[in-house]
Copies of this chain bind each other. A is one copy, B any other.
């Protein structure tokens, strides 16, 4: 009995010691990030000096070199490139969207932006009538006789009453992704999709769209929510409204590009890898500050913080700048393919791709066992207002690692401002708050620290 009691006390003592030491280590990580952090400086440099970096573009190539040099300069143990072929889509000159000869407002330019991956109308443009629908069911009910030779206008708004704005996005984005295919099946000549934004905005949101084999390729554009409202209102009174659309985008041959990987090697279990990453490519309309410059610099910052603190990890910590999340996910697929081929043992992968806002928690796609371990650490994060470990989810780029049984973790910041900038001309450095960014980097580093120290078994 005595020895059991002794063992128990002994164990408790060490548990309390361990907790207290974890608490101190995490405090040190946050202090370092908030008082001497470099994530904002890095992001400023990436946004202002590199700027837009759509897959296949000169900007993307420059960003690859930028990341490599950045991680080399920071003295990571290894930095290398993983070659990957990516789609190469170019916008060409500014799109024209024009309501023609409305009885009510005459001829009026409206704000449109080509959807990524779309074919262009070319310089002769497309003039046609418009039919508005809210979803694919409505479209099918209209049938070929009402859709043939028309432009289909998908106008289902993101639901503002959803508190999780990603859920609102998920409830509307099918129009953008599959609208052109579904409309083309019924003979439409183009699609206009209401921008994936929550408010009444003057600018449009681009984003990826798909074609499928066997269905005619027709052009797709997004229209600003403000002009979506205008167009919808007009269509109620003028069923025969005409619209002119002119886009110059082109799908070019696939282009060579790279994931950029940097790591600091572990001591005790150097073959066990913890990945933390974001995607380096962005849309072409702005600097890709929140999407996903923040995720990239936060990932680099995790490793930099460990070095700055003199922390020698037990496991190998790897920062990955994935290429081509936006219109292909080739980088994520390539990373997983190489991990399998090289028999690498990934014990966890974390992605930051929901913007650089104040942290709230982490999502997880993992076994219940892993979730239980991570949730057990929640009290260590609560002093930093990081409290939500309840939601399912990983990240697009790390997704392909799931089939290798790797636990996936998504950094979860506040979601309220994200869809004001997402895929728009507004996604610029001035929309990022330095302190919020630093808090996010610190939160990510703190969780990577815990995983490194204790593993996930």
Contacts and interface: CB of A to CB of B under 8 A. Distances in A.
Interface string A276-320: 000000000000000000000000000000000000000000000
Given A30-B161, A35-B160, A360-B385, A199 B435 contact: yes
Given A30-B161, A358-B416, A417-B433, 20 more contacts: A35-B160, A35-B161, A160-B435, A163-B383, A163-B384, A163-B385, A165-B435, A198-B435, A358-B358, A358-B414, A385-B388, A387-B387, A414-B414, A416-B433, A416-B435, A416-B436, A416-B439, A417-B436, A420-B433, A420-B435
A360 B385 CA distance: 9
A34 interface: yes
**Interface size, A (range):** 20 to 34
Nearest to A360: B385
A38 interface: no
A31 interface: yes
A127 to B, nearest CB: 35
A407 to B, nearest CB: 25
A248 interface: no
A434 interface: yes
Interface string A26-42: 00001100110000000
Interface in A419-446: 420, 433-436, 439
B417 A161 contact: no
A138 to B, nearest CB: 21
A163 B33 CA distance: 12
